[in-house]
Amino acid sequence: MTLPSIVYGLFLLSVIGLYWSVSVRSLRIWLLVIASLVFYTSLQVNYLPLVAVLVGFNYWFGRVLTTPLNWRIPNEQWQVAEAGWHRRRQAWLWVGIGVNVLTLLAFKYVDTWLTWVWPPATGPDAPLTDWRAIAFPLGLSFFTFECIAYLVDVYRGAPATRNLAEFAAYKLFFPKLISGPITRFHSFTNQLKSQPNLDWNWVVEGLWLIAVGSVKKLLIADHIAILVNLSFDNLERAGSGDIWLATFAYGIQLYLDFSGYVDIARGSALLLGINLPQNFNFPYLTTSIAEFWRRWHITLGDWLRNYLYFPLGGSRRGLARTCTNLLIVMLIAGVWHGDTWGFLIWGGIHGVALAVHRVNHAIANRWTGLDKLWQTPFGIVLSWGLTQALVFGSWLFFRLPEPRQFTLALQRVWGTASDAQFMQQVYGEAIGLSPSQLWGLLILVMGIMGLTYGVQHSLKLQLNWPLKLLLVPLCLFAAWILAPTETLPYIYFEF
């Protein structure tokens, strides 16, 4: 059951009908739990027990963190008892975080660890499949991040839930279960109301988001993926222009693929009266790397800021420490995506860029001439160009994380001509468009993003609901008819 598909559409309609037919909050919560379990079972039933156990563990840890101090203790012993109580809560917090992190690391890097202990067999008698290849549980990364956020929030004073079903509904909520957006417990559960109050505006917006997400994923991202996969799977024959084109195309594919998923997830949730947080806000129109991270994968950026950057000291301990903290956070973000060097380099590039941006900001505060330069039309265009060149250039390491892959790509990125057979098979037979035509189409996609942003944010114009309702079936039909024969899995399902 994938998003979007006819099966998912029928499933969603069934859940919506049942959800709004009951008015008791507890029944609605249990319905969401059961529906989410059915959804996960359709994708990866073998890891359902693991997910259920993690839900139980984190619910229990939350309860332990809110165990009250015995108020009957004599006054002369109160300070000692309170200090011990804080130490126990901190210890339980670290145990809870450790369970989540170790579970994530165990599955994410099990192949690497087992390779150190038990190298793979080679030779003619080697098995065709490696017994160590353990499938990564879908949604575990985002699941783990939400659990850590919940435990830290409870430790900081937020109330822990005493309703296991409520916590399970939050953790397993099927629209966001696999790839987010990362959602906080209290903002989610506060929307689980008892009385039916379906807002017509939310219905229209939910359908519109599902339609837009389907177009992004099926109509655009999956078609771009054909070019990206053919180019990067045949690096030995690709020329410099092909690698630049594929890297630029991958940046657009990744954005449309991931934001398309989030649109469908948010739209599905709106039809159930739940507003999930926004995860993208036109990140390729930003003029600084800091602004890019405020508008790209917004919930992950908030998580990194609140649960890593601030605990490390944030920007409170001087410029050098601030830059170090930024680099550490982005290196951790790179390692989170995978255990190969490409992801670490990608994180390091963004970490260094954020540090340079912070140094530039500090200099501009003292030298007004530099600050005025960045605010001129020339400075805005220059900063946008530098930011996006860095972002799109770093996607090469994200798409080709193995050292052998990105090394070969870097060797061929300048002054290398395309293989004639590559040109014929990729552009002539598989795609049917020349490289210049593909550049034009990709730039057109970027232009549509810019136009949409200008209309929505500068002119403050939005499509009205009758027009959205008219376009919804047209978008869904176009996405269904014009989608590639094989629907590709979402890129972020790998993480």
Q: Among all residues, which ones are annotated catalytic? A: 337
First to last CA, the chain: 19
Among 375, 223, 214, which residue's Cα sits nearest to residue 287?
375
The span from the CA of 119 to the CA of 297, in Å, is 36
State the CB neighbour count (10 A cutoff) for residue 485.
5
Q: 97 to each of 86, 143, 156, 162, 382, how far by Cα in Å?
A: 16, 12, 14, 20, 42
The span from the CA of 389 to the CA of 383, in Å, is 10
| Amino acid in position 421 | Q
Residue that the structure tokens 């594929």 belong to = 246
Among 55, 69, 67, which residue's Cα sits nearest to residue 103?
55
The span from the CA of 344 to the CA of 307, in Å, is 20
CA 292 to chain centre: 14
Which token pair is 151?
């435990």
| Amino acid in position 376 | T
Burial of residue 335 (CB within 10 Å: 0-12, 13-18, 19+) is: middle
Helices (H), 109-163: 110-117, 140-155
Torsion of CA 145, 151, 153, 158, to 10 degrees: 140
Cβ atoms of 51 and 137 within 8 Å: the answer is: yes
Among 48, 212, 180, 214, which residue's Cα sits nearest to residue 493?
180
The span from the CA of 239 to the CA of 420, in Å, is 10
Angle at 88 between CA 84 and CA 91, to 5 degrees: 135
Cβ atoms of 328 and 312 within 8 Å: the answer is: yes
The span from the CA of 165 to the CA of 55, in Å, is 10
Q: Which residues contact 23 (CB under 8 A, 6 or more apart)?
A: 194, 195, 196
Q: Which residues contact 413 (CB under 8 A, 6 or more apart)?
A: 240, 243, 244
Among 366, 367, 324, 377, which residue's Cα sits nearest to residue 348?
324
